[in-house]
Structure 1
């Protein structure tokens, strides 16, 4: 019997490894940026075209590579970060497995130019599909420039699974944020399709966060600092009033490496207990420093999930540090039973002595004494002058004579309640309508009782109305007398720009500024001016990048988001007319049974069900 097990060729093995390392263009960006940081660069430039599908280039001023190292770097498991297995438990660098460049070169065209500081000339290498096409000597500045072109050119199936350029660009931006936030001592430049996207100079952690997420972030940050033998914690948390419905502004870094840790995230949420709404999440930028021997970062291919030796102690320290910061900066309410606020004195009066107030009294004053002087003789001082009541009969004279029947006089009084429960009925339809617990609209039908969830019903009504405005005709825009000015980061601005056409069809009139600000000149007729910022924040927080691959799904997502934001809330009291309009509009919809989130809108309680209760 012939042997069936064969050793795979290197190019096939590299393509298989690329499935773990390179999932999308953002994966390439992560690996190249981390390599540049490990090379000791203090200035890094990222250049992206067409969402990373056409070009991803990283240029740094690091140490560079020699001719031999440049060629060996594209071999599998070739690395300068570790020498033996024990080094895995004492890592201070980013990449260490030596598969990144080999995997990238297996599924793209790679151009490398590198030069060491003490070398006169550099090395240029061209690779396509793990095959070295050319190697030559070039004149190049110190450092490394690595360009990855035509990603997945030899794996069409993988390339077809990539999303739109805007979606891939947002994933690249996320990876860029994770690297740039933890290294404020390095300047970063990010260019997208020839336009500058980010320009981050060397600065402090707070300044880096503000430059990445916009100037409005500065007022939201509360510093956190804790130094123990187990862990050193520093960073910032966002004030509770700025909590968002998404987890977009949540960053954990352990030993200068971005990590995901649901356990530590729970510690942060527990520290905010009682300060957040049920459907919001706090923002934070926390940097942890632990002994490299107490953390295992090699449990996941992307190295974003880690394992700590003593997670319970870390949980307690992190939770206490955040609660201390919330109290220290007066973010959380604090009860102080010791200080007496009655003794608080303004600063301007701290050097002044107290004096007994003086009161002057006229002991000879008599309010009943008559003042007899000149023409005012006989007028009593201190008593009010009595007005004349002459002619009071004129107040009760009626036009056309005195009324013969006093029952015809209309007086203002309260309504007389003849029964404990009054029936409210509509004169035109004869339907009985009432609101139950300010949540359900109840109506009678032939087969029993109709119970309608007012929030879900209004969501369905608005959803179909918005979807029609987006796809069929453009909605009417309500122009604002005073435009609303808002500031956003580059990532949020890119989302709004990609949705601008949909927003215009809904009735928004938005002008984009080059400085990261927008000016809202018009809004849909159903949207109040003071809710513009809230609605746009909700759109940015809950917009699903993965599903918005074509114009129709994008329109459907936007209609769903706006209908959820503007629908009647549970607990809102409705008049009889509003209840009737809600019922009529609901059953005029194409799909009245389900809300935009596929939840039941109404149910009918049959007569048999009611009779069985007795």
Structure 2
């Protein structure tokens, strides 16, 4: 006797619901995508108890007639595609024909729709049709889902609290608003409005509603294009960052997707501007020919496959990188203004009062309880702590057993006498490099040419600064036209040295030195067989491996600039990267070593500087192509605007 059974249609739908309908937010995603496909311009979403009790989606789209309203609940019934070739040219959000029957199999669903000619109501209870009848309803479609998973306890028990489930719904709705700013969305929870977008088509306006005014103001427009892809959206200034990567939003032809490789391309573009384990806020929409993307990977439609993914990665990286390089700005200090509690005097009359007198005394007390004008002072310690300026991580700040030889500009705490400076600029020249009046003076032709070339590569004009002093032997305090500047002396010197070393190494003038003890690495067989290709990749760095035995490589000489780097670990990282990627990015390999070298050669925290040395730090920073962040992503300076200071001192009420 056979043991294989043909499952009923209802049971098949319930099994499919496990993939399509995992929780209330998944239902909202499917229903809103149907509304978008119906060309709706207004979509209203409501939830009760996090969507566990009920969900509803109402739109003003094209609607359906009575026949389509019934057919929509049949498995694999859809208006989006008709034949197999359509799977490779999908222009709609939905196409599988699984969402509605799957939802109806695990809940109580009521559909009301009007195509402009007739209205229809269809009610289905846990996969069984209850009734279908004409009804008067506005044009569009309304779907209400009640008692989700009530008859599937195994799924119901895995739902979390209503607050958590609604947070997922809110996240999905906000992503829809960002991907379709031309649609007006409203979201209610337990009868309260929690989110609304105007549908004006302005993406920056939606960013402001979700992330706040300051983030929206700092958003940088992204525009990139090649023969296959078009990139548009916004990248927020690095000073506004997050602890997770989930704020790097990516949309493919208006569809919200998850793609590790594309997110990594964005993160790599931000890497020079952000500390480790911090992630940017971006909203990127990629438009392409639908035949280049396969969205039929998973029923939830979160995952995709791209036919030219590496090409898109490069375009995305270059677009974000160029936008940041040309529009980066100095982070602005945002002091925290905490309200102070002020004790008010209470008048206590010990003698017995008549009721009339008691009321008078109470009114007197209340008059003294009125909060006075809030006055708050902001110390420099508060300013520095509120902007979250941190000392570099331990590996970069710990002093070595013997202090590294500093660069000539900082050979000692006091600069040499002018007559002893044969190879350095004089004090007057250093002053000219920082003082605003001197910056406008005419210098030599060669200086003008070099400055013009340097300024052409800068993201924006470096502010003209005057040194005020040094704070705790760590920060240089300077004033400029825009306000008060606080410069991290270590980070500033680190950025300058990083660019110096980079220019020297990238120029191809790589000097190598023999190793007293050659470095050996144990490698897998695939590296041995591809040794020639590996050496070709590393030739520009001045590194070469030789075969030493069956599974061992030996390196007998290294570039001079690697002297402050853990050499064996660095070589091992290069080999590992070659195994993983089958290629090596010379820029990435050099970056870590150069950053470490620059760090060891820079001014340390808690080192007192003379006025001329502080001026030289600022002048060196002004000559950098990207002066606002150190190689590890920390800001080199912050600014407290004059307007903020006036607010703190109550000159602006």
TM-score (ref. length: structure 1): 0.55
Structure 1 distance, partners of 2:77, 2:387, is: 51
Deviation at 1:148, TM superposition (A): 0.3
Where 1:82 maps in the other structure, the secondary structure is coil
Structure-to-structure mapping, 1:298-313, within 5 angstroms: 298-313=296-311
For structure 1, the 5+ residue unaligned runs are 334-477, 484-519, 522-526, 536-564, 574-614
Structure 1 distance, partners of 2:387, 2:173, is: 26
Say whether residues 1:319 and 2:317 are aligned partners.
yes
Say whether residues 1:162 and 2:159 are aligned partners.
yes
Match of 1:63 in 2: 62
Structure 2 distance, partners of 1:47, 1:79, is: 25
Match of 1:7 in 2: 6
Deviation at 1:248, TM superposition (A): 3.3
For structure 2, the 5+ residue unaligned runs are 332-336, 343-373, 376-380, 400-653
What does the per-residue CA deviation read over 1:263-291, in whole Å, with 9 as the maximum and x for residues that have no partner? 11111122123211012111110110111
Q: 1:481 aligns with which of 325, 335, 340?
A: 340
What does the per-residue CA deviation read over 1:498-541, in whole Å, with 9 as the maximum and x for residues that have no partner? xxxxxxxxxxxxxxxxxxxxxx99xxxxx989867979xxxxxx
Deviation at 1:216, TM superposition (A): 2.5
Deviation at 1:479, TM superposition (A): 8.0
Between Structure 1 and Structure 2, the one with more helix by share is 2
What does the per-residue CA deviation read over 1:212-252, in whole Å, with 9 as the maximum and x for residues that have no partner? 22223212311110122120001111111212212232100
Structure 2 distance, partners of 1:125, 1:19, is: 23
Where 1:139 maps in the other structure, the secondary structure is coil
The answer on whether the counterparts of 1:326 and 1:332 sit within 8 Å (CA) in structure 2 is no
Say whether residues 1:144 and 2:141 are aligned partners.
yes
The answer on whether the counterparts of 1:57 and 1:148 sit within 8 Å (CA) in structure 2 is yes
Structure-to-structure mapping, 1:457-472, within 5 angstroms: none
Deviation at 1:137, TM superposition (A): 1.2
Q: 1:246 aligns with which of 237, 244, 247?
A: 244
The answer on whether the counterparts of 1:43 and 1:186 sit within 8 Å (CA) in structure 2 is yes
Where 2:273 maps in the other structure, the secondary structure is coil
Where 2:246 maps in the other structure, the secondary structure is coil
Distance 1:250 1:135, change over 3 A: same
Structure 2 distance, partners of 1:113, 1:256, is: 27
Match of 1:295 in 2: 293
Where 2:271 maps in the other structure, the secondary structure is coil
Where 1:299 maps in the other structure, the secondary structure is coil
The answer on whether the counterparts of 1:236 and 1:285 sit within 8 Å (CA) in structure 2 is yes
Deviation at 1:305, TM superposition (A): 1.3
Distance 1:533 1:166, change over 3 A: farther
Q: 1:279 aligns with which of 277, 280, 305?
A: 277
Where 2:134 maps in the other structure, the secondary structure is strand
Deviation at 1:301, TM superposition (A): 2.1
Where 1:274 maps in the other structure, the secondary structure is helix
Say whether residues 1:50 and 2:49 are aligned partners.
yes
- CA RMSD in angstroms comes to 2.9
Where 1:288 maps in the other structure, the secondary structure is strand
Match of 1:234 in 2: 232
Distance 1:82 1:208, change over 3 A: same
Distance 1:152 1:274, change over 3 A: same
Distance 1:5 1:110, change over 3 A: same
Structure 1 distance, partners of 2:387, 2:140, is: 45
Distance 1:19 1:528, change over 3 A: farther
Match of 1:175 in 2: 172
Match of 1:21 in 2: 20
Segments ≥4 residues shifted beyond 3 Å = 330-333, 527-535, 568-573
Deviation at 1:156, TM superposition (A): 1.3
Where 2:76 maps in the other structure, the secondary structure is coil
Structure 1 distance, partners of 2:185, 2:74, is: 28
Match of 2:450 in 1: none
What does the per-residue CA deviation read over 1:145-204, in whole Å, with 9 as the maximum and x for residues that have no partner? 000000001101211110001110111111112211111111111111000111211221
Distance 1:274 1:114, change over 3 A: same
Structure 1 distance, partners of 2:54, 2:386, is: 37
Structure 2 distance, partners of 1:56, 1:319, is: 39
